[in-house]
Amino acid sequence: MKRIAIIAAAVLMAACSHSNNGRVLTKSGLDPQAFVAEYNGQPTALYTLANESGMEVCITNFGGRIVSIMVPDAKGKYRDVVLGFDNIQDYFPENNKTDFGAAIGRYANRINQGKIKIDGVEYQLPQNNNGHCLHGGPDGWQYKVYETVEADSSHVIFKLVSPDGDANFPGEVTATVTYTLTAENKLAIDYAARTDKTTVINMTNHSYFNLSGDPANHKITEDFLWINSSSYTPADNTLMTTGEIADLSTNPALDFRMAKLIGQDIDQKDNEQIVNGGGYDHNWVLDKSGRMGSTAATLFCPESGIQMNVWTSEPGIQVYSGNFLDGTVTGKNGVVYQKRAAICLESQKYPDTPNKPDWPSATLKPGQIYKSVTVYGFSVVKD
């Protein structure tokens, strides 16, 4: 751990360029010292990745969270395209209960009534969202301190050991999350996990993207979205999947096979799925799922010219249009995050997969290795 701390400090100093009252700041304006603390007796820190083209990603080991992503716009100006906080204290759940940028586990998304059955044994999980278990419960991995295994200017590896019975999930799970920044302005996230007892696992990243870099003044309804999907999993009014896989031709408001403005259909009052989600908060079943060479989704901001492509090994992607942001949270640079200030593109197994045996399995057994990969790639589209 001492060696890792020395490496991390060197990485931070090498990647930071600006100063303020003697403090060395990152390109995104973060003060790494504002992330040095302890949570439940474990140390937290900020890690900065940077490539030769100037892209920068800042990540904290608290919840394995992406704090900032600086990418150039069509005019070469760098913009921070994710929501978050500028100090570690604001990430702590006693101050703000958010998922900004987090590595979610043990099970991302919802499990119906918090109940799962494994090897004939029923487990009751926490019920923290309309009676369901959401993102591993109220004390999920997004609120844990990950151990830093490796860190340099191009990648960081975090590890978390989740004990048997953590949130009542069976099995001791050892999970790793690796963030790698490439020379091509791609941020790759590799998840891996092992267990000593049969369990379920479904990891994702919960970054809130606003490609304008100006969430105070630009809503994501002004941006374009394309999804490589011809079907989705409908949800009831508690946002629980019904078990159906529906053709998107039956609900054009959710059909993004042709790129369209996110705001075009997001407020349809006579669309049951839109009403249930308060906008978009649904799982799209990806066509050609599991093929990393096939783009899963594309987000484009005309104001900045920034485009983000998503590739994933997962079968689904949850699109959440920031419907529950309500102006009660103040983030970086004092910006108040209002409704639809950002959008999440969460690659994952389908919601409630453990209770729907016909869907791609989320079961992990002893001797197996859970692996999942998602890549966010950034580029610009010029006039």
Degrees, nearest 5: CA angle 82-84-85: 145
Distance CA 160, CA 311 (A): 24
What distances in angstroms separate CA 208 from CA 126, 152, 352, one per listed residue?
25, 25, 22
Q: In the annotation, is 206 catalytic? A: yes
Give burial (CB, 10 Å; 0-12/13-18/19+) of 40.
exposed
Distance CA 49, CA 303 (A): 26
Contact 82, 101 (CB under 8 A): yes
Question: Which residue type, as a one-letter code, is found at position 186?
Answer: K
Q: In the annotation, is 346 catalytic? A: yes
| The one catalytic residue among 56, 132, 314, 346 | 346
**Chain-centre distance of CA 9, in angstroms?**
26
What distances in angstroms separate CA 263 from CA 153, 185, 256, 310, 321, one per listed residue?
38, 28, 12, 20, 10
Distance CA 282, CA 130 (A): 16
Distance CA 358, CA 341 (A): 35
Helix (H, G, I), strand (E, B) or coil at 347: strand
Residue 76 falls in which region: left (phi positive, over 0), alpha (psi -120 to 50) or beta: left
**Token pair 């990806």 in the structure block, residue:** 286
| The one catalytic residue among 206, 218, 282, 314 | 206
Contact 344, 209 (CB under 8 A): yes
Helix (H, G, I), strand (E, B) or coil at 102: coil
Distance CA 336, CA 332 (A): 9
Distance CA 361, CA 367 (A): 16
DSSP 8-state secondary structure symbol assigned to residue 200: E
Please give the positions annotated as active site.
206, 346
